[in-house]
Structure 1
């Protein structure tokens, strides 16, 4: 007789789920037996930690637009899922979590590993339910999958051990209270009303200096976004989660915005008289126009998010692609292209600054050079992941994404740890595409190194096109060190910031992977060539200088004041000051040369 656990897996398979990331424990023993009987469909993939399973499910969702699924045992295993699930929730990635629980007879008795899981998962989940009887399994799985897909959020199902092992009920009896749900999710397109579209067009047509800020909600609308930018003579800046909505080789794409952003984006946003925000929840007011000085039009699928960051003059609640399509016929092409020409000149200047800064020499490898040398070598269709840290700045600024490439990171939670599991999930989902992860040594020590064991375990399946884990080794929790200086006015605190020097490339070789260690700036390009041509998973370690500051496009007075105060007593003050001066000097000379 088929058990509930067997039925749940078969129902997931009907929903198109063929891969579940999870870690075993006796709280899900019923499911483990069912996976064996399922003959690898769906397949159980084992990372080294439940948090990594949740990150992998999130990465799968981001790079496939499918629902990612993860699994954990009861108690501690379930708790470990939470960080990865919050990453999915905040970045709007659809994920279903399957979690074990103690037997129903022991619940409420403070039994070993008994945790109130429904309460624990309530905040992170759009839908959370406990399966208390076999007859519920069908409609709970259906509703969880449907909810995750429809809300682009997290749904959690909790299965007590004894329920997992009950005989399955695939078709409830036709009695009062029975539920006969079906497989299939349906996402209709939300279209804004015509009078809102006309009003938005009037504002955009009146603007003389129009800027566009696009986020991940604009993905799939590249053609329409480009046409709107051409008509309005606008430039397009991109929030980090929208890193791949438009390629960076378009002359009017100004790149990232904000603390990790480009000077071209910053100048455009600060000088525009009209801002069109498309599918973005970019939260930082200091990098947006001052209230009352710029007219704002916002497009978002969810009307609740319109006007949440800045007051808007017109809002279009709807799918970005459809809203832009409706808007285009009402837009008037701007004959005066002075504003657009200035944006394109700023973009060209910014890329020259990036190269000049990347080519600068420091005590160790300039971390900007690592990203710069990768940029032109990126294989077509590459998938790029990044972790959270100072390396994210170089990933955001120095890499030129081309059409067909994908990129993501923990944009909203900004947690350390997802860069490696995102990359692993991307390769499992797209075995024919190159994948490159950009990771700091702090995040790699935190959990990425452990996942190299996972990579080694599945190395045969993960080999082929490039799969490179690029580790920036500076022996410093670098972003926090800079935040201490610029935000707190405190010097770097070595007891919290210094990291052990670990031989990452050698560790990879110990596991049977390819390890490449680069310490000479003249060898950076050759190291990338070797890694990208390896045909097997590679840990590519660069020993980089921690004193190269991730300087914002404009330095605010309070940040400068705090940094000056901090550096008086900073253990790295000489190297930091020299590196910062040389970076700004490179920018100054580039502006003078072409200004």
Structure 2
């Protein structure tokens, strides 16, 4: 036996009698695929890839003793690999052995890996702390995917394969909202990348850092109308804070650094386009890049004059109220300290729900369309608003008539929709501490805690009344669902909320303590809730993850339940199924239109969950809500409680 024969790695390609005379088939052998042929009682194995355009020779036919490529009709000898088109098209051959248990093919030992451009990009990603990727592998991102596979094998990266790229972008957006750090989403050329756009617009609108990576067609055919050839730089121009094409001569690590740095500092989308052939170019000497020496301390204090003006306004106020948005998420301790010095109520925007416990004596819940009458009452009696990290959306309900001190780290957020009395540029936590340190309080300032407690008493009595109402037709009210969830949701849970009537009910009725709440705030994209739970689980796998969705939103990404099962994600899904897009029905009635095309034909979602390997239980009786949710929370893996709710109760 020759030395070369001994150095071959032998792989069982197929069973002993699985090929008929004159048949050719594709067989995986190690990392390769071969076209295995049986002809005149003998077996031949040649490389499966036609050198013309990569056609799969094993899917061809055997005609006149030759394998005919199924794509373009090129002919190849099944034993020698010789091509009818001449030696430039010859393909490699591999030795074959017929053994008692099957047909074996020998392949050379894999060559040592030569570091590629994709390796440089992935090493730079992970050096910056981007170690989580949601995506779909396909034909125009395989080089980058292989580099990610190597990183995953080395333990420096986690990859979650999703069922739709839109879910990947929503998951990455939720990850960024929860942590303040980017995860990556990953797609192929053309539709794989355009599918990312809605989730990336959610990240842009809510100022969440995300890294988006697009495979692309080979540079030689780009711009010529080739298969899946679109101008991805143009497609991503509006959604991205930074977007660039990685070319053969680029400083590859620096482009990745630029994408991540823009995502972090501008709290948005950094995007790279990766042409197919560039992904696999050798780059053995190129260094990776990292954040050392590149990132400033962003905890910037306010200008002296703006701080003095804010302190003057506070000193004149007898009923100041504090409003916090999602931009204050990381700095609530400093804001609460200031509120307690002033005995000032704290109201949150809907996006900021959960940033202060509703049990706190100054907490008033959510302001605006999804809010509580406690918050609106206290704001309407205020003589000064102190607004931290909120940007005055038309849905937030922040009064335009009350003198306002607004604090934000982004100068474009200050007075975004209308002038404010005192715009203060500075880090929320640093500025809140500076205000507390320099605080001068009006002698007649009101301790508003008793009034906050009184308003909560009134509102909780009204909520109890609504909980007690039994809707007709074997359904339960949304108020009853959130009444039970109030007592069951773990305090350290991350809760992801979709868009629809259930979200309005969640804003009104659920009273958070220490839960983190994630939603599609400014974009308001239906379908966010369940993919966001995938991202939240990846960001915080040791915390309970609770997704709250409606049937309309979950229906858009229901296949992602298989993703949750595949990766054993401990997600509890509370699905309020009312059989229609009930919020839109309400809006049609409000405009005196006919209710039209808002009904939904739904499966039994709980049965679907069970079919996919998750826990699933359907609830139609209010008495069963608590036990079903408790069981789902205790289930070690994906679990769904489908609750049949009344579209008229919210």
Contact 2:324–2:349, Cα closer than 8 Å, also in 1: yes
Residue in structure 2 matched with residue 300 of structure 1 by the alignment = 408
Residue in structure 2 matched with residue 500 of structure 1 by the alignment = 601
Residue in structure 1 matched with residue 235 of structure 2 by the alignment = 120
Is 1:279 the counterpart of 2:389 in the alignment?
A: yes
RMSD: 1.9
Residue in structure 2 matched with residue 570 of structure 1 by the alignment = none
Residue in structure 2 matched with residue 246 of structure 1 by the alignment = 356
Q: Could you report, residue by residue, the CA deviation over 1:529-563 in whole angstroms, capped at 9, with x for unpaired residues? A: 21112222111100000111x4xxxxxxxxxxxxx
d(CA) in 1 for partners of 2:342, 2:466: 32
Residue in structure 1 matched with residue 124 of structure 2 by the alignment = 11
d(CA) in 2 for partners of 1:303, 1:11: 30
TM-superposed CA distance for 1:286, in Å, is: 8.4
TM-superposed CA distance for 1:443, in Å, is: 0.8
d(CA) in 2 for partners of 1:21, 1:369: 35
Residue in structure 2 matched with residue 341 of structure 1 by the alignment = 450
Q: Could you report, residue by residue, the CA deviation over 1:73-101 in whole angstroms, capped at 9, with x for unpaired residues? A: 00110100000000001111100101011
TM-superposed CA distance for 1:168, in Å, is: 1.6
Is 1:479 the counterpart of 2:583 in the alignment?
A: yes
Q: Which has the higher contact order (CA 8 A, sep 6+)?
A: 1
Residue in structure 1 matched with residue 646 of structure 2 by the alignment = 545
Q: Helix, strand or coil: the match of 2:484? A: helix
Cα 1:383–1:205, aligned 2, differ >3 Å: closer, same or farther?
same
d(CA) in 1 for partners of 2:639, 2:278: 43
Residue in structure 2 matched with residue 387 of structure 1 by the alignment = 498
Q: Helix, strand or coil: the match of 1:104? A: coil
TM-superposed CA distance for 1:129, in Å, is: 0.3
Q: Helix, strand or coil: the match of 1:289? A: coil
Q: Could you report, residue by residue, the CA deviation over 1:35-74 in whole angstroms, capped at 9, with x for unpaired residues? A: 3333153232111000111111111112222111111000
Q: Helix, strand or coil: the match of 1:417? A: coil
Is 1:318 the counterpart of 2:426 in the alignment?
A: yes
TM-score, scaled to structure 2: 0.79
Aligned counterparts, 1:202-241, within 5 A: 202-241=312-351
Is 1:350 the counterpart of 2:463 in the alignment?
A: no
Name which of 249, 267, 271 aligns with 1:152: 267
TM-superposed CA distance for 1:396, in Å, is: 1.4
Residue in structure 1 matched with residue 630 of structure 2 by the alignment = 529
Cα 1:469–1:196, aligned 2, differ >3 Å: closer, same or farther?
same
Contact 2:319–2:445, Cα closer than 8 Å, also in 1: no
TM-score, scaled to structure 1: 0.86
Name which of 478, 485, 504 aligns with 1:367: 478
TM-superposed CA distance for 1:289, in Å, is: 2.3
Cα 1:520–1:451, aligned 2, differ >3 Å: closer, same or farther?
same
Contact 1:204–1:232, Cα closer than 8 Å, also in 2: no
- Structure index of larger Rg: 2
TM-superposed CA distance for 1:200, in Å, is: 0.6
TM-superposed CA distance for 1:17, in Å, is: 2.2
Cα 1:187–1:388, aligned 2, differ >3 Å: closer, same or farther?
farther
TM-superposed CA distance for 1:400, in Å, is: 1.7
Aligned counterparts, 1:6-45, within 5 A: 6-38=119-151, 39=153, 41-45=156-160
d(CA) in 2 for partners of 1:182, 1:407: 29
Aligned counterparts, 1:170-181, within 5 A: 170-171=285-286
Deviates more, 1:74-83 or 1:180-189: 180-189
Structure with higher strand content: 2
Q: Helix, strand or coil: the match of 1:540? A: strand
Q: Could you report, residue by residue, the CA deviation over 1:168-211 in whole angstroms, capped at 9, with x for unpaired residues? A: 26438xxxxxx988655334222112221121111122112222
Deviates more, 1:45-54 or 1:128-137: 128-137
d(CA) in 2 for partners of 1:524, 1:498: 24
d(CA) in 1 for partners of 2:174, 2:148: 22
Aligned counterparts, 1:17-96, within 5 A: 17-38=130-151, 39=153, 41-96=156-211
5+ residue gaps, structure 2, are: 1-113
Contact 2:499–2:525, Cα closer than 8 Å, also in 1: yes
d(CA) in 2 for partners of 1:290, 1:35: 50
TM-superposed CA distance for 1:103, in Å, is: 1.1
Cα 1:182–1:238, aligned 2, differ >3 Å: closer, same or farther?
closer
TM-superposed CA distance for 1:126, in Å, is: 0.6
Contact 1:366–1:545, Cα closer than 8 Å, also in 2: yes
Deviates more, 1:143-152 or 1:269-278: 269-278
TM-superposed CA distance for 1:338, in Å, is: 5.4
Residue in structure 1 matched with residue 567 of structure 2 by the alignment = 458
Contact 1:139–1:181, Cα closer than 8 Å, also in 2: no
Q: How many residues align?
A: 531
